[in-house]
Amino acid sequence: MDRLDNTIRPYAWGSATAIPKLLGALPTGEPQAEMWMGAHPGAPSRTTRGTLVDVIDADPERELGPEAVAEFGPRLPFLLKILAAGAPLSLQVHPDLEQARQGYADEERRGIPVDAPHRNYRDANHKPELICALTEFDGLCGFRDPLRAADLLDGLGVDSLKPYVDLLHARPADAALREVLTAVLTADRDEMAHTVAQAATACARLGGDHAPYAGIAHHYPGDPGVIAAMLLNHVRLQPGEALFLGAGIPHAYLSGLGVEIMANSDNVLRCGLTPKHVDVPELLRIVRFEPGDPGVLRPEASPDGEEVYETPIDEFRLSRYVLPAGGTTHDLTLPTPQILLCTAGSVRAGEHELTPGQSVFVPAAEKAEVSGTGTLFRATVRL
C-alpha cells in the first residue's frame, strides 16, 4: 500500500480556498482547481517507489491484477480527483469509445500535434465521469425540455432571443435543441455578445431560476455559451449526492467541492464558456440532443457499510464508507487496484493514517484494512 503525493492543478476557474481548507493548509492566493490521484501521464501521483506510472509499468499484473490487465490493458483505467470550482468550467461534452478511437485516428492521420490548441482528441479513450459533492455543488447537466428552455429564454424579454424561443416551440425536441445550439454557436460574435449582455442584465434583475446564468455571464461576458447554458438543466447537489456524465451529455460545473472519478482520458469538446477552441461541426456530431432529468445519484448501501454510486461504466467504481466512532475494522481487500481517499475525520488504512485530502494506492490483492472515524472514498474498477 503506497501513500500518494498528488499534484494540484492551478486552473483559473479553481477556488483559492476550498482545497487548502480540506487539507488544513494555508491558501496560497492562487486558484487550486483539481488534485489528481492516479497514473495519468499529465500529473501522475508520486510514491516512495517512483511515480504511479513507473510503479505500474514495472509490473502491471502485480499492481493491477491479471483480470484488470486483460480487460483494460496495462494501465490504471481511472483517474480520481478532488475538484474545487470557484468559477464555472467550460461547457463541454465527451465522446463515446468508438467516437474517440475514430477521432484520434483521424487527427493522427492528419498530423495534428497532440498538444495543438485545435486538437480535439488527445487519446483514443472515452471519458465518462462521476462527480460526488463534498459541499453544496452547482452544475449544469443535460438538456432541459425545449418548452422549459423556451420559457426561460422568453422570460428575459430580449428581442434577439425570440427566434430561438420560436424554434424551441415549433420543432420536435431533438431537432429544436440541435437547431438552437447550432444557431447560438455560429451567430455573429458581436451580435451575440450584445444579446448575452442584455440577457445577463435581465437574469440579474429577475433572479430565481435565472440567477445561475447571471453568475455565469459575470465570469464569461459576451460568451455565446451563456445562452447555450440556458438550454441545460441546472442542478444543485447536496453533500453525498452525485451526477454521472455519460458520452454526449453537455455539462459544466459551476461551484463547489467534490470528488470526481473518470476514465483515464483527456478528450473534451467544448461548447462555450471558454477562450479555448470550439469545433462546432465535431461538437454537433458528438452531442446527444436528448432532453431529460439529470438523474441525481444517491449511494446504495450494502450490509458491510459500503455505499456505492452505481454507474454503467466498467473503468471505474466509486463508493464511500462513513466510519463511526468506535466502529469495526473493514477489510477492503480486492483483486483489483484501488485508491482510498479520506475526506473527513481520521482513517487508518493499513499502516497509513489518513486525514482529509490524503490517499493511498492499494495494489490488486493487497491486504487493505481500514478503521477510524471519518469518511473514506474507494475508487476501483468493475469486473
Active site residues: 270
What gap in Å lies between CA 209 and CA 219, rounded to an integer?
A: 18
Residue 145 burial by CB count (10 A; 0-12/13-18/19+): exposed, middle or buried? middle
Nearest to 239, CA basis, from 349, 344, 381: 344
Q: Cell triple for residue 108?
A: 493522427
H helices of 221-342, in order, are 225-229, 280-286
What gap in Å lies between CA 45 and CA 55, rounded to an integer?
A: 10
What gap in Å lies between CA 48 and CA 2, rounded to an integer?
A: 7
The one-letter code for the residue type at 297 is L
Nearest to 82, CA basis, from 191, 141, 9, 142: 9
φ, ψ (nearest 5 deg) of residue 375: -120, 130
Q: Cell triple for residue 50?
A: 517512483
CB-CB contact of 262 with 130 (8 Å): yes
Angle at 74 between CA 70 and CA 80, to 5 degrees: 105
CB-CB contact of 336 with 380 (8 Å): yes
What gap in Å lies between CA 60 and CA 52, rounded to an integer?
A: 11
Helix (H) or strand (E) holding 57: helix 52-58
Nearest to 85, CA basis, from 9, 27, 144: 9
Angle at 100 between CA 98 and CA 103, to 5 degrees: 105
